Amino acid sequence: MEKKPEHNIKAYGNNFTTMTPGPFAVKMRTCVIWQFLRFLAINIKMIVVVRKSH
Amino acid sequence: MARLVVLGGGVSGHTAATFAAKWLGSAHEVVVVTPNAKWNWIPSNIWVGVGEMSKEEVTFDLAPVYAKAGIIYHQAKALGIHPEGNETSDKPYVVVESTEAGKVGKIENIEYDYLINATGPKLNFAATPGLGDANGLGEFTVSVCTADHAVHASHELQKCIEKMRKGERQKFLVGTGHGMCTCQGAAFEYIFNIEHELNKAGVRNMADLKWISNESFLGDFGVGGLHMNTMGFAVSSKIFAESLYTERNIDWVIGAHVNKVEAGKAHYELLDGTMGEESFDFAMLIPPFAGVGLKAISKTGEDITTTVFAPNGFMKVDANYNAGSYENWKASDWPKTYQNPTYKNMFACGIAFAPPHPISKPMSSPNGTPITPTPPRTGMPSGIMGKVVAQSVCDRILHGADAPLHEASMAHMGAACVASAGKGLFTGTAAAMTIYPVVPDFEKYPGTGRDLDYTFGEIGLAGHWIKHILHHLFIWKAKLKPGWTLIPE
Ligand SMILES: Cc1cc2nc3c(=O)[nH]c(=O)nc-3n(C[C@H](O)[C@H](O)[C@H](O)COP(=O)(O)OP(=O)(O)OC[C@H]3O[C@@H](n4cnc5c(N)ncnc54)[C@H](O)[C@@H]3O)c2cc1C
C-alpha cells in the first residue's frame, strides 16, 4: 500500500489533531502547469507587499 | 567632505553602503569596515549545507565591488566606538582591528561624521555548554549560519547518508540550541532540505528526523505565528506547520530550552519545567544571537557601553525600551528611524539594532528559565532598514543636519519570505509567505494583528522557483550589476 501523509499520524501523539494533504493536494504541489500559474500569482502578491513596505 | 562609516558588510550594511555611495557620489566618502573578504548570500547556505550548492556559488569577493562603487573598504572588525572623540579631538571615531592577510591584528582609528552599525549577530554558541565556545561552533553539532559552517554540515550529512546506505539507522535533530534563539526559519528550511535529500538518496526509511525548538507552538517563527487567508478561513501557521511536519514524518519537541549538548545527546528543559534529553547522530542547532560586543568609550575614556548598547549587545535606537509586560506592548514600541537616542549621528540597522522586546509572547518555565523566541530581523526588513538609514544620512549630509529622517518601522512593514523545503527544478518545494506587518498591530488589526489581505502562504514548486530566482537576483544586486537599484530589498 502506498504511504499517504495521514499514515504518519500517531493516535494521541503530537500530530493527532493536525490536517494532512490528500494525494491530489500533494500532486498539485509539483504539477508544473499549476505551479506556473501559482508562480505568477505568488509573484504578484509578493510585489504588492514589497511595494507596500517601501 | 563628509565621511559615512558603515560597520558590517552583510545584508543591511551592504545595502546601506552601496546606496549611500550612489547617492553621495565622489564628493563624500563611504567607508565599509567588515571582517570578511567575501559577501555571503546567507539564505542559500541551506543548500550548501545539503551539498546542493558550493560555497563559491553563495559568496563573492567584496573588494572589486567596493572598488567599482567608490567605497573605501577596510577588511577589519570594529572593536569600539568613540562617539565624542577623545581628549585631543572632538571628532568621533571607531577603532578597528584588521583581519586582512598580512595585516591581521593591526589596530587603526577611523574618524566619521555619520556611523551606521550593521554588524549583525554574534553567533553565541558559548551560551549553551557543548554547543560551542567563544571561538565558535563546538564539535558535537553542525551549523549553517556561515558558508564555511554549511560546507562542514554538508560533509557530516554525507557521512550519515553513507552509514544509512550500509544499513545503519541515523537520527537527525534540528532546531534551536537555546531558549532565547531566533532564526527558526533557517532551521525549518534545513530540516526539510535534509528530508528531501534523504529521499533523493533513497535512505529516508533509515532516518528519524526530529525538530526541537523554543517556540511555544509549531509555526511561531519568532513572530508569534501568523494567520493566513486560506480558502475563506483565517488559518494559523500552527496548522500549516503541523501539517507539513506530519506529511514529511518529522516529529517535534517545542517549548524547549536546550541547556547542554554532549556527543550524541542534547539535554533540554521544557516550558512545563520538565527536563528531557534527545539523542542524535547529526544535529544542527541554531545558536542564540547577541550583539558583536562593540564597546563605547566617552571623550574622557570612560566606558559608556551601557549608554549606547542594550544588555544583549545590540545598539539602542529610537525604540520604546520601557514597554513593560506583554499586555502593554504596542506596535509603536518599534523603532522607525534607527537613530541612536544619545548620539544623533549614529544609526543601527538589520540585526544590530536592539529590539524593544520580543514579538512572540514571552514565556518561562516554572523554574524561571525564559523560553521565548527572540524577534527575527529577516533579509527584506534588514535590507529596507539599511536603505532607509542610508537615505537619512545622505539627506543630512547633502541638505543639512536638520533634514528629516526617513522611517521604516517593522510594525508598518511587511516581509516576503520563501522557506525552502527541498531543492530541485521539478521536485523542489518551498513555503512562499508574505506577512503584513511583521510586528503585529492588534489595535489596527484586532484578533490576528495582521492584515489578512496581505498575509498569505502556500507550499509548492513555484515557491522553490522563486527562491532560486531570488538567489541569483540578490547576488546580482549585491554585485552592483546593471539595474541593481531596480531590484527591491
Ligand atoms: C542559515 C540562514 C538562513 C537564512 N535564510 C533567510 C531567508 O531565507 N530569508 C530571509 O529573509 N532571511 C534569512 N536569514 C536571515 C538573514 O540572513 C538576516 O536577516 C540578514 O543576514 C541580516 O542582515 P544583517 O546585515 O543585519 O546581518 P548580516 O547579514 O549577518 O551582516 C553582518 C555583517 O557584519 C559583519 N561584522 C560582524 N562583526 C563585525 C564587527 N565587529 N565589525 C564590523 N563588521 C562586523 C559580519 O561579518 C557581516 O558581514 C537566514 C539566516 C541564516 C543564518
* pLDDT for residue A22 is more than 90: yes
Residues 6+ apart with CB under 8 A from B244: B192, B421, B431, B459
Phi and psi at residue B138, to the nearest 5°: -85, -170
Average pLDDT, chain B: 97
What is the DSSP secondary structure assignment for residue B50, as one 8-state letter? T
Integer Cα distance of A37 and A31 in angstroms = 10
Best mutation target among A42, A44, A48 (most B Cβ atoms within 10 Å) is A42
Which atom of ligand 1 sits closest to the CA of residue B77?
Answer: 42
| Segment B55-103, tens digit of pLDDT | 999 999 999 999 999 999 999 999 999 999 999 999 999 999 999 999 9
Q: What is the mean pLDDT of the segment spanning B144-158?
A: 98
CB contact under 8 A, A35 and B461: yes
CB contact under 8 A, B247 and A54: no
Best mutation target among B246, B254, B435 (most A Cβ atoms within 10 Å) is B246
Q: In this complex, how many residue pairs, one in chain A and one in chain B, have their CB atoms less than 8 Å apart? A: 88
Task: State the pLDDT at residue A52.
Answer: 86
Domain spans, chain A:
23-53
Task: State the pLDDT at residue B439.
Answer: 97
* pLDDT for residue B230 is more than 90: no
- Is the beta carbon of B13 within 6 A of some atom in ligand 1? yes
Integer Cα distance of B417 and A53 in angstroms = 13
Integer Cα distance of B445 and B443 in angstroms = 6
Q: Find out whether B293 and B378 touch, Cβ atoms under 8 Å.
A: no
Task: State the pLDDT at residue A1.
Answer: 62
Give the residue carrying C-alpha cell 570594529: B78
Helices B184-200 and B147-165 sit at what angle, rounded to 10 degrees?
Answer: 40
Instruction: Count the domains in chain B.
Output: 1
Integer Cα distance of A5 and A18 in angstroms = 11
Which atom of ligand 1 sits closest to the CA of residue B293?
Answer: 41
Q: What is the mean pLDDT of the segment spanning A9-33?
A: 95
Residues 6+ apart with CB under 8 A from B273: B365, B366, B367
Phi and psi at residue A6, to the nearest 5°: -70, -15
Which atom of ligand 1 sits closest to the CA of residue B376?
Answer: 19
Task: State the pLDDT at residue B134.
Answer: 85
Residues 6+ apart with CB under 8 A from B72: B29, B30, B31, B32, B66
pLDDT tier at B135 (50, 70, 90 boundaries)? confident
What is the DSSP secondary structure assignment for residue B329, as one 8-state letter? -
CB contact under 8 A, A30 and B242: no
Best mutation target among B228, B434, B436, B477 (most A Cβ atoms within 10 Å) is B434
C-alpha separations of B290 from B96, B138, B209, B355 in Å: 19, 17, 29, 12
Q: Which of B422, B431, B458 is nearest to B199 (CA)?
A: B422
Measured in angstroms, the CA of B241 and the nearest CA of chain A are apart by 9
Integer Cα distance of B465 and B487 in angstroms = 17
Q: Which domain holds residue B348?
A: 3-123+291-399
Q: Where is pLDDT greater, at B135 or B376?
A: B376
Three-state DSSP class for residue B453 = coil
Q: What is the CA radius of gyration of chain A?
A: 17
Q: Give domain status of residue B197, yes or no.
A: no
Task: State the pLDDT at residue A3.
Answer: 81
Q: Give domain status of residue B460, yes or no.
A: no
* pLDDT for residue A2 is more than 80: no
B349 CA to middle of ligand 1, Å? 11
Measured in angstroms, the CA of B105 and the nearest CA of chain A are apart by 40
In percent, the amount of chain B with pLDDT more than 90 equals: 98
A10 CA to middle of ligand 1, Å? 38
ipTM of the complex: 0.96
pTM: 0.97
pLDDT tier at A53 (50, 70, 90 boundaries)? confident
| Segment B168-184, tens digit of pLDDT | 999 999 999 999 999 99
The enclosing domain of B93 has a CATH number of 3.50.50.60
Which atom of ligand 1 sits closest to the CA of residue B96?
Answer: 42
Q: Is A22 on the interface with B (CB under 8 A)?
A: no
Task: State the pLDDT at residue B231.
Answer: 82
Q: Omega into B437 within 30° of 0, i.e. cis? A: yes
Measured in angstroms, the CA of A39 and the nearest CA of chain B are apart by 5
